Chains A and B, each alone.
Chain A
Amino acid sequence: MAGRAKAGLDRVLNTAKTSENMSQDVLEEVKKVKQHQERDKMTAKETGASGRQVIAVVFVVVILFGLFIFIGSLQSKSQSLTIDDYHQRNIEGKESDINYMYNGYSFVKAMDLWHTEIADNKKNRLYELAVRYSPKEVLDIKVAGPGLDKDVMNMSTIYISHDPDSANMNYVALAAAEITLSVSGVIGMDVKAACMKNITGVCETIPIKTCADKDSFVLEIYDGEQTAVIFDGNCIKIQGRQEELMRAADRLLFEWLGIIRPQK
């Protein structure tokens, strides 16, 4: 009886031991599983973090690329605007520093020059006038004198005469070229280069003309201290120091073409 009881006890102990071992195994297994889960969690966390970073970087790159394309398209759009486009903007009232309306004339700045169009109704055509200054930039220039004789505008030729003694011939050339282009193209007169006196080799080859030649229409260009335009009988005088001469030349053209109305 005692032996059977001992055997039973041993079996119980063994079973308990086995159970303990099993539960330890289970515990270990659970521990392992937990560790795996922890590791997986960590990995998942890390993977999630780097994934978000990648998405963020891609997002920023896409935004930057889009921005780049947008700015590029805006720039190319503004660069591709032609002078005519800017004239159209003036008509639509979209004026800026480089395009504006003045007394009904549309002015657009392109390639360092101000462009406007002058209609010649008699010939039914448009002339393009290109000048260095716009009307607003020459309004301060003094315009003086009793005015031009009525018949001088019927003359076919205007002599643009310079003083060969002038120290600033380069500016005389700039002013003369500015007037010449417009007078010959828009106003339709023949323009002749002339000298006020015959003292240089160049003046030997061209006519000598001054305002004293009453039978001729003469434009005298002076290198003078005060910037001014003077209309006097058969004669126009423009004067100024260096590039002021060019401003005076453009003021003359605007008066002549009626873009700036005569001062009263």
Chain B
Amino acid sequence: MVSSIIGLMWGDSASDVKKYGKHKLKLTQNGWKININDKDIFFQFLPDSLTDITIDKNVLDKILATKMMYVTSSINDTFAEGIAISEYTLSEFYGKNRNGYLQVAFTDYSTPAIPTINCDNATTNVPVLYLSQGDEISVDMIGNCIIFQGTYGADFLRFSEKIMYESIGIDTTQVTDG
């Protein structure tokens, strides 16, 4: 939320650019932009605001190593909107930067075009990311199934952006001076 307020004030000078190691994030109309391998990647949150989400290295490795992943949630989840934004943010990232793809599904609903996917469907080659409402923010991995629980809608986008930052080598585990 802080970053979105900053976002509304884009066009400022000193606060327009944030440095994280060798990377620079520039504030634009579409959020914080970084250019990696001639491709622009946009973020709504700065790395500093994602430190409360802890992702173990083995979980991150699992997510980043895969070319295809199922992303699933309950069709009745309270945070359907936040989950939706997270799903298509991750979809773009996978499609554009990793030449892979995510398949979005539900845990409790199916049609011929929408498979029912839950943790039982997770395999080494095609892991499952299960997004769900929870009492606290948590990231767990059971077998090849990664379970993220968020406490409000924007947590799911924050989780997606944390994965994206980590994949391009920006540390999101500690607050920096920028």
Contacts and interface: CB of A to CB of B under 8 A. Distances in A.
Interface in A239-264: 243, 246-247
Interface stretch (A27-35, A93-101, A139-147, A157-165): A157-165
B124 to A, nearest CB: 15
Interface stretch (B17-25, B85-93, B135-143, B162-170): B85-93
A202 B114 contact: no
B159 interface: no
A180 B80 contact: no
Given A243-B111, A243-B114, A201 B153 contact: yes
Interface stretch (A44-52, A57-65, A169-177, A228-236): A169-177
Given A170-B73, A181-B91, A202-B153, A243 B113 contact: yes
Contacts of A206: 4, 44, 85, 157
Given A169-B81, A185-B99, A205-B1, A112 B75 contact: no
Interface string B92-120: 10111001011110100001011100000
Nearest to B97: A184
- Residue from A128, A174, A181, A204 with most neighbouring chain B CB atoms (10 Å): A181
Size class of B's contact patch? 35 or more
A213 B92 CA distance: 22
A205 B157 contact: yes
A152 interface: no
A114 to B, nearest CB: 10
A81 B104 CA distance: 25
Contacts of A193: 85, 88-89, 157
B92 A180 contact: yes
Interface in A183-207: 184-185, 190-193, 200-202, 204-207
B92 A191 contact: yes
B52 interface: no
A263 to B, nearest CB: 23
Given A173-B80, A205-B45, A180 B106 contact: no
Contacts of B34: none
Contacts of B1: 201, 204-205
B42 interface: yes
Contacts of B126: 111
A190 B42 contact: yes
A191 B82 CA distance: 17
Contact of A202 (B3, B85, B102, B113): B85
21 contacts: A132-B113, A162-B84, A176-B88, A177-B87, A177-B88, A177-B104, A180-B88, A180-B95, A181-B92, A184-B95, A185-B95, A185-B101, A190-B40, A190-B42, A190-B92, A192-B31, A201-B1, A201-B154, A204-B154, A205-B157, A207-B30
Given A173-B87, A190-B30, 12 more contacts: A160-B88, A170-B77, A170-B83, A176-B84, A176-B91, A180-B91, A181-B102, A184-B92, A200-B81, A202-B82, A202-B154, A205-B1
Interface of B: 1, 3-4, 29-31, 40, 42, 44-45, 71, 73, 75, 77, 80-85, 87-89, 91-92, 94-96, 99, 101-104, 106, 111, 113-115, 126, 152-154, 157
**A-B pairs, 3 with minimum CB distance:** A173-B84, A185-B95, A169-B80
